[in-house]
């Protein structure tokens, strides 16, 4: 069963190995969310308390829902819409639908931000950060120049979407699994190097203090919702991405073990990113709340000064692009799986057509970043930040809430248990998981929502 190549199963793919499934799920989870988004929203929401609440959400909401999505996916071997229709149908099918819609929305702006990373890879190849003798103060201006250039952003967005489509066309298993196995460890190594360097630098102590000393007064209702929403975004939960990947897994997979491993890796990468960036913020007197450009404004300063900075800058942005790609393909996969399984499109058509439509949907996000024109949609947020807010703070947690309720109350405990323990796996914490998914997780998500609406 473990060596199941997809030519034996013409319609749906399967991972070629257990490790393939772990790496693909970790690849989906680890992405721009960890390296681009986590540090910048942590900066905007005041650090410590936000980080600790985020960690609390990973454990109490994220891990239980990741197990639930894998259980539903593997049990049905279907796309999210098909999975809910098969298990219950009726209004529950809407949960699957919400996931497909979230896939469209999130991927549209994800490609824009990933496009920035591709541009930075190109800049580092040109030696922009290492050989030009730039002063630290000039580095952040490079980012401003990119945002002011509408068509450069659309160009890199298109390049990135092209890469995503190309990989998804190749099918589920193949080359991607192999590439993942090499890239992830290198990404870890570089991040560890940058984090250690950061913590040992003059701004290190201040960064540690900022990241881990809670000032609970700063954790207001919007910050709590942002932290919880980010737990969903970062772990790829609430929209059926992990469900879809689970649908390609076979019985030999130990679901709880994979969910736990992936969550730990994902959290680790986020913390390392914070530890790499905030020392630079404090050393150079930058604003922690610098916003979505944080990663692009901080790390290049250090690349210019490190021995080997030229090579490290190239490697870093290459890996950032790669991490973004392994997440983007899981977003596109949700949409493609729906059109293949439910609409009986062939994979090629679904990938090309949907990739193109999602690219078009992303163009407003790219154009909205031009700071010379003030595009404000929600508060002082431009279009990109606004749909990111709606998707991650509302769509994903709502999807997650419904997935938790479905797993805890609609699926019978017997069915859920049989699915997690398939293939002779004994899930020692089954009781705890089922209690969490039935009571704790849905109540917590609901409380954070109600808190935001101002009910307390
Ligand atoms: N988890 C990915 C990241 O952190 C983003 C993502 C969200 C991927 C939802 C799939 C589904 O970058």
Q: 129-172: per-residue pLDDT in tens?
A: 876 556 677 888 899 999 999 999 999 999 999 999 988 887 65
Residue 182 C-alpha to ligand 1 middle, in angstroms?
20
* pLDDT score for 6: 41
Ligand 1 atom with least separation from CA of 330: 10
Q: Would the CB of 34 count as within 6 Å of ligand 1?
A: yes
Model confidence at 454, pLDDT cuts 50, 70, 90, reads confident
Where helices occur in 45-149 by DSSP H, the ranges are 48-57, 63-76, 80-87, 93-125, 139-148
279 versus 454: the higher-pLDDT residue is 279
CB 324 within 8 A of CB 335: no
Residue 335 C-alpha to ligand 1 middle, in angstroms?
14
Residue 319 makes CB contacts below 8 A (sequence gap 6+) with: 183, 186, 187, 190
* pLDDT score for 170: 78
* pLDDT score for 173: 53
* pLDDT score for 8: 39
Model confidence at 374, pLDDT cuts 50, 70, 90, reads low
Q: Would the CB of 286 count as within 6 Å of ligand 1?
A: no
Residue 393 C-alpha to ligand 1 middle, in angstroms?
13
Ligand 1 atom with least separation from CA of 235: 1
Residue 236 C-alpha to ligand 1 middle, in angstroms?
4
Model confidence at 5, pLDDT cuts 50, 70, 90, reads very low
* pLDDT score for 135: 67
355-369 average pLDDT score: 95
Q: Would the CB of 93 count as within 6 Å of ligand 1?
A: no
434-441 average pLDDT score: 98
Residue 186 sits at the vertex; the CA angle it makes with 181 and 191, to the nearest 5 degrees, is: 135
Beta bridge partners of 378: 381
H or E segment to which residue 161 belongs: helix 150-169
Burial of 260 (0-12, 13-18, 19+ CB in 10 A): middle
Give the Å distances, CA to CA, from 164 to 242, 247, 262.
18, 20, 22
Model confidence at 303, pLDDT cuts 50, 70, 90, reads confident
* pLDDT score for 175: 56
Q: Would the CB of 25 count as within 6 Å of ligand 1?
A: no
Where helices occur in 284-308 by DSSP H, the ranges are 294-303
Model confidence at 46, pLDDT cuts 50, 70, 90, reads very high
Please give the structure tokens belonging to residue 408. 């805890």
Give the Å distances, CA to CA, from 401 to 96, 125, 167, 413.
13, 44, 31, 18
Q: Would the CB of 327 count as within 6 Å of ligand 1?
A: yes
Q: Would the CB of 106 count as within 6 Å of ligand 1?
A: yes
List the residue whose alpha carbon is closest to atom 4 of ligand 1. 33
Q: Which DSSP letter does residue 373 get?
A: S
Given a cut of 90, is residue 360 above it in pLDDT? yes
Q: Would the CB of 157 count as within 6 Å of ligand 1?
A: no
Q: What's the pTM value of the predicted model, to 2 decimals?
A: 0.94
Give the Å distances, CA to CA, from 232 to 112, 289, 293.
20, 22, 22
Q: Which of 233, 246, 267, 334 to mutate to test the pocket of ligand 1 (most atoms within 8 A of CB)?
A: 233
The greatest distance separating any two alpha carbons of the chain, rounded to the nearest whole angstrom, comes to 65
Model confidence at 370, pLDDT cuts 50, 70, 90, reads confident
Given a cut of 90, is residue 273 above it in pLDDT? yes
Beta bridge partners of 381: 378
Which of these, 439, 244, 444, lies nearest to 330 by C-alpha position?
244
Q: Which of 269, 330, 396, 403 to mutate to test the pocket of ligand 1 (most atoms within 8 A of CB)?
A: 330
Model confidence at 2, pLDDT cuts 50, 70, 90, reads very low
Burial of 71 (0-12, 13-18, 19+ CB in 10 A): buried
For the ranges 17-31, 80-94, 369-383, the lowest mean pLDDT is seen at 369-383
Ligand 1 atom with least separation from CA of 31: 12
Which of these, 344, 309, 104, lies nearest to 194 by C-alpha position?
309
Give the Å distances, CA to CA, from 158 to 114, 360, 414, 449.
10, 9, 47, 35
Residue 202 C-alpha to ligand 1 middle, in angstroms?
33
Model confidence at 184, pLDDT cuts 50, 70, 90, reads confident
* pLDDT score for 174: 64
Q: Would the CB of 42 count as within 6 Å of ligand 1?
A: no
128 versus 224: the higher-pLDDT residue is 224
405-420 average pLDDT score: 96
Q: What is the Cα–Cα distance from 408 to 441, expressed in whole angstroms?
A: 10
List the residue whose alpha carbon is closest to atom 10 of ligand 1. 236
Ligand 1 atom with least separation from CA of 34: 4
Strands annotated E in 198-274: none
Strands annotated E in 181-304: none
Residue 33 C-alpha to ligand 1 middle, in angstroms?
6
Q: What is the Cα–Cα distance from 304 to 100, expressed in whole angstroms?
A: 42
H or E segment to which residue 157 belongs: helix 150-169
Given a cut of 80, is residue 177 above it in pLDDT? no
409-417 average pLDDT score: 96
Q: How crowded is residue 1: how many other Cβ atoms within 10 Å of its Cβ? A: 10
* pLDDT score for 11: 57
Average pLDDT over the chain reads 91
Angle between the 93-125 and 139-148 helix axes, to the nearest 10 degrees?
Answer: 120
259-267 average pLDDT score: 97
Please give the structure tokens belonging to residue 206. 């201040």
């Amino acid at each position: 069963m473990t060596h199941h190549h997809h030519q034996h199963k013409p319609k749906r793919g399967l991972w070629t190995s257990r490790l393939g499934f772990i790496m693909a799920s970790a690849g989906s989870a680890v992405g721009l969310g960890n390296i681009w988004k986590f540090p910048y929203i942590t900066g905007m929401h005041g650090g410590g308390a936000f980080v600790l609440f985020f960690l609390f959400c990973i454990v109490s909401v994220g891990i239980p829902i990741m197990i639930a999505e894998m259980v539903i996916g593997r049990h049905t071997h279907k796309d999210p819409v098909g999975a809910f229709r098969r298990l219950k149908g009726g209004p529950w099918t809407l949960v699957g639908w919400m996931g497909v819609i979230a896939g469209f929305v999130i991927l549209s702006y994800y490609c824009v931000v990933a496009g920035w990373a591709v541009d930075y890879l190109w800049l580092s190849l040109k030696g922009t950060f290492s050989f030009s003798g730039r002063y630290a103060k000039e580095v952040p201006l490079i980012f401003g120049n990119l945002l002011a250039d509408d068509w450069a952003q659309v160009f890199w967005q298109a390049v990135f979407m092209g890469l995503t489509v190309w990989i998804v066309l190749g099918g589920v298993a193949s080359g991607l699994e192999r590439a993942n196995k090499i890239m992830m460890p290198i990404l870890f190594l570089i991040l560890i190097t940058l984090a250690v360097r950061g913590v040992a630098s003059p701004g290190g102590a201040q960064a540690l203090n900022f990241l881990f000393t809670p000032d609970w007064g700063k954790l207001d209702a919007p910050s709590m919702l942002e932290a919880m929403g980010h737990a969903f975004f970062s772990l790829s939960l609430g929209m059926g991405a992990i469900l879809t990947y689970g649908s390609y897994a076979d019985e030999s997979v130990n679901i709880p073990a994979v969910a736990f491993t992936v969550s730990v890796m994902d959290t680790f990468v986020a913390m390392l990113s914070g530890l790499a960036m905030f020392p630079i913020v404090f050393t150079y007197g930058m604003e922690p709340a610098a916003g979505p450009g944080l990663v692009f404004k901080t790390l290049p300063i250090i690349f210019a000064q490190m021995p080997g900075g030229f090579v490290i800058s190239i490697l870093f942005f290459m890996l950032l692009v790669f991490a973004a790609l392994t997440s983007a393909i899981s977003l596109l996969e949700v949409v493609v799986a729906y059109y293949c399984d439910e609409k009986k499109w062939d994979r090629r058509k679904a990938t090309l057509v949907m990739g193109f439509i999602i690219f078009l949907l992303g163009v407003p996000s790219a154009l909205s970043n031009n700071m010379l024109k003030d595009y404000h949609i929600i508060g002082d947020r431009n279009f990109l930040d606004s749909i990111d807010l709606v998707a991650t703070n509302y769509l994903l947690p709502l999807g997650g809430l419904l997935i938790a309720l479905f797993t805890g109350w609609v699926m019978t405990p017997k069915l859920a248990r049989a699915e997690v323990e398939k293939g002779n796996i004994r899930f020692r914490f089954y009781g705890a998981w089922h209690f969490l998914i039935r009571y704790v997780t849905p109540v917590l998500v609901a409380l954070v929502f109600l808190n935001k609406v101002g009910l307390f």
